Amino acid sequence: MDDLDKLRNEIDYIDEEMVKLFEKRMETVLKIAEYKKRKHMPIFHKDRETEVIKKNINYLKNKAFYEPTEEFFKKLMEISRGVQREQLKILEENEKRDDQLIIGFQGVEGSFSEQALIEYFGEKVTRKNVREFKDVFESLKNDEIHYGVLPIENSSTGGIAEVYDLLRQYGFHIVGEKSIKVEHHLLGVKGTKIEDIKEVYSHSQAFSQSSEFFKKYEEFKLIPYKNTAMSAKLIKDENTKAKAAVASNKAAKLYDLDIIASNINYNKSNYTRFIIIGKNLELHVNSNKISVVVATPHRAGALYGILRYFAENGLNMLKIESRPMINKSWEYFFYIDFEGNLNEEVVKRSIDLIKKGSSFFQLLGNYKEHR
């Protein structure tokens, strides 16, 4: 390798590091735009920009680069303002449509799904609750709602199989996600003592997440029900001390129930990830997570043939979940989450290769990851 090649390699490395830092800066710029929107602050602040440029020029060791550095930062600030303007447009458009949006969720008022909905969309949207997960998809299919909110994964008990299956069957897209910390409480009507309880109602996942607690009360009959908030409502309606529910603190307040035992889930860092589904694929500059579902030919090494593209192209795979194919024993659909944006060439190339190696491929969405 001659000296020129070495210098070019050094430039390539520096450029790669600059791109990483530029991306990090732009992500921070987006957050600043959101802050300015909340505080009604202008995008352009001349004194602040002058201060930033002057401060960074002072970091120079070689003052011969004074003018190019000044020009570089002026252009960078201009780009940052442009990104902020675009973000403010998106935020303002979202605000305008909030009053007209109808968002569907499974369950009743006080559920974790409703909490995720409010935290993602805000209070202004119209909320439509339905009984089953499938009803959210049907409501979206029939244009009764604009988006749906569904739980898809819990940090203690894993994926929710029914939601994965419905995603594939209906062909809708994931446009966002929200993680909610889940704390389960044992609830009963006013004056209930733990020795009064004979039956406990809740979603099966809530029972799984509270399994260590219920080992101490094997005499309780655990009865799976639609979801935690609907279980709390049932206990309120039944109005008997013999029945209790596992649900949230919000549900306890909403249905005027006593908390008999607090925070009974065994994992104190218990989170549920909710997805936002829509009819159309949505792609934004800050979309950094991609979800796909694939199936592979039933032969040795077929799955490896797909997964290797992630490693070979430097794509970080976040999750893989398998679901059995109906009427095909020991064959599976694989739901895969990985980092990336569909506008990136490496992502486009990888997806093309994955499609070619799959017997089934479906793009579920490209959205902003919530941590």
| Nearest to 251, CA basis, from 239, 264, 236, 238 | 236
In DSSP terms, 186 is beta-bridged to: 246, 261
The token pair that represents 108 in the structure block: 């009743």
3-state secondary structure of 229: helix
Of the residues 133, 172, 274, 310, only one is catalytic, namely 274
DSSP string, 295-363: E--SSTTHHHHHHHHHHHTT--EEEEEEEEPTTSTT-EEEEEEEE--TTSHHHHHHHHHHHHH-SEEEE
Q: Are 305 and 299 in contact (CB under 8 A)?
A: no
Q: Are 175 and 209 in contact (CB under 8 A)?
A: no
How far is it, in rounded angstroms, from Cα 160 to Cα 163? 6
Q: What is the dihedral of CA 283, 284, 286, 287, to 10 degrees?
A: -10
Of the residues 272, 333, 334, 338, only one is catalytic, namely 272
Active site residue 44: no
CA atoms within 13 A on the CB side of 174: 33
How far is it, in rounded angstroms, from Cα 157 to Cα 163? 14
Active site residue 274: yes
Q: What residues contact residue 213 under an 8 Å CB cut-off, 6+ apart?
A: 186, 261, 264, 265, 266
Enzyme catalytic residues: 272, 274
